[in-house]
């Protein structure tokens, strides 16, 4: 079992960007925690990838189908309007868990809709950095039980 964590736009600024919404932990420290937990859960490898560019995220989703068992994806603002990322997820035959640090359903109206949710295995939102850890647990369950 190998997992790819994909983070979208502005998530490289975690720890600096809106700490009241996203917390004070840096992107690097959150990735270290995710990688450590993935190893504890039995994932052979865990890679964190971040891009502010939609096309790079799509390319990484496509490539993941060859090297990873599943993806934990925080698409950031692309969640709400990127049909291209939605189509990339639908095109690969590995499970994708959608995660958000904030509860998108408690925020601005435009954030309430996720165009990627219908092609993801599930969505986890509102638990801060723990959303990623919960995503790992969900992905492990899917991979082990073929849910």
Residues 15, 42: Cα–Cα separation, whole Å = 28
Residue in 22, 27, 78, 132 annotated catalytic? 22
Contact 124, 97 (CB under 8 A): yes
Phi-psi region of 25 (alpha: psi -120 to 50; beta: other; left: phi over 0): beta
100 is catalytic: yes
Angle at 121 between CA 117 and CA 122, to 5 degrees: 60
Residue in 27, 78, 100, 132 annotated catalytic? 100
27 is catalytic: no
Contact 1, 140 (CB under 8 A): yes
| Residues taking part in catalysis | 22, 100
């Amino acid at each position: 079992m190998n997992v790819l964590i994909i983070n979208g736009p502005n998530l490289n600024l975690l720890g600096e960007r809106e700490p009241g919404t996203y917390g004070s932990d840096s992107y690097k420290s959150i990735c270290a925690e995710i990688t450590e937990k993935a190893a504890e859960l039995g994932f052979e490898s865990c890679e964190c990838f971040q891009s502010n560019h939609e096309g790079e995220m799509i390319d990484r989703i496509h490539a993941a189908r060859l090297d990873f068992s599943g993806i934990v994806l925080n698409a950031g603002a692309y969640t709400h309007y990127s049909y291209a990322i939605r189509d990339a997820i639908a095109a690969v035959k590995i499970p994708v868990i959608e995660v958000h640090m904030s509860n998108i359903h408690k925020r601005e109206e435009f954030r309430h809709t996720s165009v990627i949710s219908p092609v993801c295995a599930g969505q986890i939102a509102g638990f801060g950095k723990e959303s990623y850890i919960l995503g790992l647990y969900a992905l492990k369950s899917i991979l082990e039980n073929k849910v």
